Structure 1
Amino acid sequence: MARYLVSKKGVPVLASARVEGAAQSCCVLVAKYCEEPLQISFYLQYTTFIDGFDDEQTFTLIYDADILTHGATSLKTATTALPHDQLTSIARAGNPQIRVLTLTLAKPCRIRCPLSSGTLTSKSGYEAPFHRLVKLAIASEIDITLDYNWVHADNREPLECFVRQPNVFAGFPDGNDGYRYADWAVFSTIEEQDAPPPSYANAVDTNASRKRSRHTTTHSLSTSPAPKRQQYDPGSPTEVATATPSPPHTPVGSPLEKATASPSYPSISLEATAALAFQNAINRAVEAQLPAVVEGMLPGILKSILPDIIHTSLVPQRSPSLSPPPATALPPRPVSSSLGNLITDRLTELAKHHLTTIFDEANDQAYSLRNQADGEFEDVIADHKINVDIIKEDCIRELGEVVDDKLCKFKEQTEDIVKTAVDEMENKSSEFLAKIGYLPNPPFSAVVADFKLNAPPTPPTTEIEYTKFILMRDRHQSEIRVHQTASKSAAPRRMFVLIHGGGFCFGKNFSLSYLPSYRLTLEHKFSTAPQDLLDSVKWLSQDIHVKELERDLPLSFYVGGNSSAVTAQRWVFEKFQLPLMGAWASILEQNAAALVFNQNAMEYISKALRDDRYSLDFFPFQANDLHKGMPPIYIKVAGKDPLRDDGLIFEKALRTHSRRTEIDMYPGLPHGFEAVVRKLGLSRKSMFYTLIT
């Protein structure tokens, strides 16, 4: 499909022949391009006055790709600065990018001219612009200076491709647009007009040859000049003209003829005089009677031929509005003589031909105006599209600037809010510490030793709270503390498995109401504790024990600390039959000098684990595909916990892989704050959320 590389109306350019001293002329350039097949043509429009036309006429110099010399076409940046007025006349807007398109022709370009016959000459007073037009038409090399901003960014690649490989392009054929196509020979320059005119004798012979010979009965010489018609008054019909004897006959071109030739009128015979008188009488009669006869006959002639002309011209597009008028009674025609019939027939033929010509010209003019209006409308649409694209780009750029500005302001406001929140949190923490007074912070080893010496007493055994012993994989008997509801129910009830914390170093299954117990790391090599927990969960999943505890296993899930995350992951990886419904991973992360669990405690636990702290039984984040099959997880993070970031990262990793998670954060509180400061409102709130979440 053909398209235009610039506006269909064209863009202003300066054109000149590539010769020394050639003047630049203001023109309009149109570039037409087709991708399949590869075609390109440049149309250089030049407007000037020519003889025979009242208005300015536009000449279009057509430079097709297939008339250009290969390898001689270029598009380069202009090296010569243009005068301000010329630069203003071709610049689009903003910063002009002046380029020079050089075309070298292998043969003369075609020229689209106004409809006319013969050669075209300049109108008086407009010889200079007409002469520049002729120079452009004759030139074999031409430079076209333009502002490259007129070429849209999407159209620059085809133009530059043509400059690189002009040999693969062809030109567009002439369209049936009603114009005249010619080459530079159609122009008649001043030099050609200065040639001497043809001889008068030749002009006389030419005119004489075009006239119809008249038959006479005279005996005058054939070589003598044609006699001039005399102003003869016939006078009275009875008057007899005096005949002048004719000269004796002499041979053609004889000396006698040359000698006797004189400018006096030749003598006229009697028969010639009579014939001339009769012809003059006819002329006078026709001159006197013809206007009245034509005036009386012309309405009838027009009424009889006009409907036929209109009907014949509009047969393909017939419409009710153009149908012939209804027939009306014509007045009777006067009886005419044979001369009247001859005149009627001749006038009918001439009037029909003349009216047909007028109608055809009007129809062609209307069609041309319609095509011109369509072209102008398409140009307006194309210009609007370009303007819309430019406006859209400007709006996007302005919107981006506004968004960037708003984003910068939002970042500044966010930083201020965060800073204010941090300051307020520090103040609240200071006030809190001032209220609770001094909090002892013994080393972690002392906490473990004190727990062994002063272990909490075993809770009493009742019907709903009691201890069971189960076998581990190495035949060790481990305790499970069972808590049941006092009321019996036929509806299925879920099972909660609570695992106590303590870094595998201390703690019991009743210290925080957590049910399974495990062997501690100080007395038993590491991995024994995680294995005990896994075996305990396996025992709880067996049907016989589920029935004994009156629980519905598919509704069950378990909660705990770091050990809960380890056990959940092991359960998933080893692909046990029953899925876990949920887990509470209380991986509390603390600062190095926090209360109870701090850097000292981490070093103590690492030593107790005997360099096995990166085992999957201790650190679940080391596993590959840790998110696959994991149940919904509830995570609590304390602000003063050395492992705070581990909990945040663990939750984000699960959430990124579409695992269901929920996280609660307690800023400013240490690890295990529920046990350290039990009376604190946040401690009770944390325990409550742990049970209901």
Structure 2
Amino acid sequence: MELTHALKNCSFVSDAKYSVTDHKVPVDGGEIVVRVVIPESDDPKQTFPVLTWLHGGGWALGNIDQDDWALRVWSTELQVVTVNVEFRSAPEHTFPIPWDDSYTALKWVASNAASISVSLDKGFLIGGMSAGGNLAATVAHLARDDPFFSDKPLTGSYLAIPVIVHADAYPEKFKDQLLSMEQNKDAPNLTRDSMRFYLDTVKAPPEDPKTSPLLYPSHAGLPPAYFQICGLDPLRDEGLLYERELRAAGTRTKLDVYPGVPHAFQVFSPTISAAAKYEADTLVGLKWLLAGAKY
């Protein structure tokens, strides 16, 4: 899904100064591209926090260009380096390749922080939208459990309308809380059947926690998380449930809900007032993460 439509009237971006560089990152069986946007500074030694971004599109659609403008807005408005990941996608590249590529990209960011003007101590965020939100949620779990990140942990997750659990893997104890896949099965933009098509195309095993991060045995020790959830979205209830589960496990969370609008409404209806609120909330939510979730 694309974030750029509602942001193209942001006049400050045309006047803002930043650098954009594509880097090739080796991955198992090939290489991927990550696009790095760095705000310009008069101080050549200036460092910034970083957001690694994973685009939406059902692990099959979309590319590094779809959110390019939005990430430039965030970089300039928030003074943050953004790293836009071109993970390999289905149908050519199925599970677990998109997940593994995303995790490799995060490790690349941590290993190359100094060369891209990043100080991880100032903020080390992972984020994504829709299927990208699924990747971000999984990557946060993987990084929590990996000794590689023990001295450089993630400091925040941005989970926008995320895929959190496969409909064939709903835990029995949560089934009465996961009603939106059926209630919103024919909603605009994303239906129950199209969600299943994407999952089938990427060949994601329903009960694997990479597919369904709700199923990780523990959610303790995850970084603060910012959620955006749409009321008319088949994914609504899994996002709301995941936010509750993270909060119950001790993770600080921030949640914005948009009643009566479907999945990725801000992309398909960028001129409505709710879309403007969504975009404004995004900046507030990212600021909350960058501030260490203290306000």
TM category, shorter: 0.7 to 0.9
Instruction: Provide, for residues 156-210 of structure 1, a one-character-per-residue CA deviation record: whole Å limited to 9, x for no partner.
Output: xxxxxxxxxxxxxxxxxxxxxxxxxxxxxxxxxxxxxxxxxxxxxxxxxxxxxxx
1:557 aligns with 2:125: yes
Matched residue type, 2:127: V
**SS of residue in 2 equivalent to 1:467:** strand
1:534 aligns with 2:103: yes
Measured after TM superposition, the shift of residue 463 of structure 1 is 6.6
Measured after TM superposition, the shift of residue 682 of structure 1 is 2.0
Gaps of 5+ in 1: 1-446, 448-461
Distance 1:622-1:471 versus aligned 2 partners, 3 A rule: same
> How do residues 339-378 of structure 1 correspond to structure 2 at under 5 angstroms?
none
Distance 1:621-1:665 versus aligned 2 partners, 3 A rule: same
Cα distance between partner residues in 2 of 1:532 and 1:553: 20
Instruction: Provide, for residues 381-418 of structure 1, a one-character-per-residue CA deviation record: whole Å limited to 9, x for no partner.
Output: xxxxxxxxxxxxxxxxxxxxxxxxxxxxxxxxxxxxxx
Distance 1:611-1:532 versus aligned 2 partners, 3 A rule: closer
1:648 aligns with 2:240: yes
Measured after TM superposition, the shift of residue 491 of structure 1 is 4.7
Distance 1:614-1:521 versus aligned 2 partners, 3 A rule: farther
Measured after TM superposition, the shift of residue 496 of structure 1 is 1.4
TM-score by length of 2: 0.72
Cα distance between partner residues in 2 of 1:610 and 1:472: 20
**SS of residue in 2 equivalent to 1:507:** coil
Partner of 2:157: 583
1:685 aligns with 2:277: yes
**SS of residue in 1 equivalent to 2:85:** coil
Cα distance between partner residues in 1 of 2:206 and 2:276: 32
1:522 aligns with 2:91: yes
Matched residue type, 2:28: R
Runs of 4 or more, structure 1, over 6 Å off, are none
Cα distance between partner residues in 2 of 1:688 and 1:480: 26
Partner of 2:39: 485
Cα distance between partner residues in 2 of 1:488 and 1:676: 38
> How do residues 142-157 of structure 1 correspond to structure 2 at under 5 angstroms?
none
Partner of 2:264: 672
Measured after TM superposition, the shift of residue 691 of structure 1 is 2.9
Partner of 2:221: 629
Matched residue type, 2:250: S
Cα distance between partner residues in 2 of 1:639 and 1:562: 18
1:495 aligns with 2:53: no
Measured after TM superposition, the shift of residue 688 of structure 1 is 2.8
Matched residue type, 1:587: I
Measured after TM superposition, the shift of residue 687 of structure 1 is 2.3
Measured after TM superposition, the shift of residue 484 of structure 1 is 1.4
1:595 aligns with 2:184: no
Cα distance between partner residues in 1 of 2:63 and 2:98: 12
Cα distance between partner residues in 2 of 1:582 and 1:497: 11
**SS of residue in 1 equivalent to 2:39:** coil
Matched residue type, 1:679: T
Instruction: Provide, for residues 394-443 of structure 1, a one-character-per-residue CA deviation record: whole Å limited to 9, x for no partner.
Output: xxxxxxxxxxxxxxxxxxxxxxxxxxxxxxxxxxxxxxxxxxxxxxxxxx
Max radius of gyration: which structure? Answer: 1
Distance 1:539-1:480 versus aligned 2 partners, 3 A rule: same
Partner of 1:658: 250
**SS of residue in 2 equivalent to 1:520:** coil
Query: Given that residues 501 and 563 in structure 1 are in contact (C-alpha distance below 8 angstroms), is that contact kept between their aligned partners in structure 2?
Result: no
1:566 aligns with 2:159: no
Measured after TM superposition, the shift of residue 611 of structure 1 is 5.5
Matched residue type, 1:559: G
Cα distance between partner residues in 2 of 1:681 and 1:473: 44
Matched residue type, 1:537: L
Partner of 2:171: none
Matched residue type, 2:192: Q
How many residues are paired up? 229
Cα distance between partner residues in 1 of 2:42 and 2:102: 28
Identity of aligned residues (%): 25
Partner of 2:113: 546
Query: Given that residues 587 and 647 in structure 1 are in contact (C-alpha distance below 8 angstroms), is that contact kept between their aligned partners in structure 2?
Result: yes
